[in-house]
């Protein structure tokens, strides 16, 4: 990796995480197509590289949220309990079954487009009809397990999927954001480690691009801290709309890539 690629990775991680950290998204789902299309990371190495980005970037936002006294509470433990076994299973599927990027893009678009539109409608409707009952603990853990598998296969933190569902079901963004980022951080450590071990047992290019992952992560570390610091100054409605726009925008981006 030359210095210009590293600098571009740093800038991408920084700019993405500033926008995504306030709503509990690490930014991996947006960084992934940048790594493939712009930075030229091969498959399946792009998945552990994205997980490495999450590991390096995560402490920035988490440190800021911790200083502000927001840790996500019981929701953090529920999400981690589901995503940890899921990411290991997803990594095994990715290395040995090797689902293609087209399947991933279709899957993400099919999930995020309706989620984004649903959250937008929930936000703009009158308050008395806006918030349904939050998900039960078993349902939350099951959701986290499924998201963990998807994250293990494609290297996304899961906040882009968990956030719209949990917020749309009535959990405040201020609670979802630190919990989703904490789950992403812990899950990404386990996922990156799993890929590193699997790389020893297969001829597939399953090891991360360490330098690029660290460069993107360093940008995400700074951007995540800045984004988490910005969150208390944004109203709940603005955060909901930002999350809805992000989900819808990424879904549209992947549809365009598939059709293109």
How far is it, in rounded angstroms, from Cα 220 to Cα 237?
Answer: 25
Count Cβ atoms below 10 Å from residue 69 Cβ, excluding itself. Answer: 7
Which two three-digit tokens encode residue 242? 């930002």
Helical residues (DSSP H) of 43-73, grouped into ranges: 46-67
pLDDT given at position 9: 92
How far is it, in rounded angstroms, from Cα 239 to Cα 246?
Answer: 10
Inter-residue contact 218 to 7 (CB < 8 Å):
no
| Cα–Cα nearest to 13, from 240, 219, 157 | 219
pLDDT given at position 153: 79
Which two three-digit tokens encode residue 181? 């980022």
pLDDT given at position 236: 87
Predicted structure pTM score? 0.84
| Cα–Cα nearest to 164, from 80, 252, 245, 64 | 245
pLDDT given at position 220: 94
Inter-residue contact 242 to 23 (CB < 8 Å):
yes
Q: What is the mean pLDDT of the chain?
A: 85
Spans of the chain, pLDDT less than 70? 1, 98-101, 104, 126-132, 202-206
pLDDT given at position 122: 80
pLDDT given at position 68: 84
pLDDT given at position 1: 63
pLDDT given at position 80: 93
| Cα–Cα nearest to 35, from 161, 247, 208, 227 | 208
**Helix axis angle, 236-259 to 101-124, nearest 10°:** 150
**How far, in Å, are 70, 92, 95, 153 from residue 216 at the CA level?**
25, 24, 23, 20
At 235, give phi and psi (nearest 5°): -70, 155
HSE-CB at 82 with a 13 A cutoff on CA atoms is: 24
pLDDT given at position 25: 86
At 201, give phi and psi (nearest 5°): -110, 0
Count Cβ atoms below 10 Å from residue 218 Cβ, excluding itself. Answer: 19
């Amino acid at each position: 990796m030359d210095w210009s690629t590293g600098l571009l990775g740093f800038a991408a991680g920084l700019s993405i995480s500033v926008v995504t950290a306030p709503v509990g998204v690490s930014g991996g789902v947006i960084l992934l197509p940048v790594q493939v299309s712009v930075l030229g990371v091969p498959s399946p190495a792009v998945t552990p590289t994205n997980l490495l980005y999450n590991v390096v970037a995560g402490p920035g936002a988490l440190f800021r949220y911790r200083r502000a006294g927001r840790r996500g509470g019981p929701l953090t433990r529920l999400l981690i309990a589901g995503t940890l076994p899921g990411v290991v299973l997803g990594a095994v599927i990715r290395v040995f079954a090797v689902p293609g990027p087209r399947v991933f893009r279709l899957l993400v678009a099919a999930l995020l487009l309706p989620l984004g539109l649903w959250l937008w409608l929930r936000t703009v409707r009158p308050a008395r009809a806006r918030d349904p009952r939050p998900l039960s603990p078993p349902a939350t853990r099951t959701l986290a397990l499924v998201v963990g598998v998807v994250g293990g296969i494609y290297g996304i933190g899961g906040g882009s999927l968990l956030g719209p569902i949990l917020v749309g079901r009535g959990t405040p963004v201020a609670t979802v954001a630190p919990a989703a980022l904490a789950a992403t951080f812990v899950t990404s450590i386990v996922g990156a480690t799993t890929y590193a071990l699997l790389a020893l047992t297969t001829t597939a290019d399953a090891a991360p691009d360490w330098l690029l992952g660290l460069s993107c992560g360093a940008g995400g570390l700074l951007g995540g801290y800045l984004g988490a610091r910005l969150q208390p100054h944004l109203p709940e409605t603005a955060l909901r709309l930002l999350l809805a726009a992000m989900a819808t925008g990424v879904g549209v981006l992947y549809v365009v890539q598939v059709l293109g």
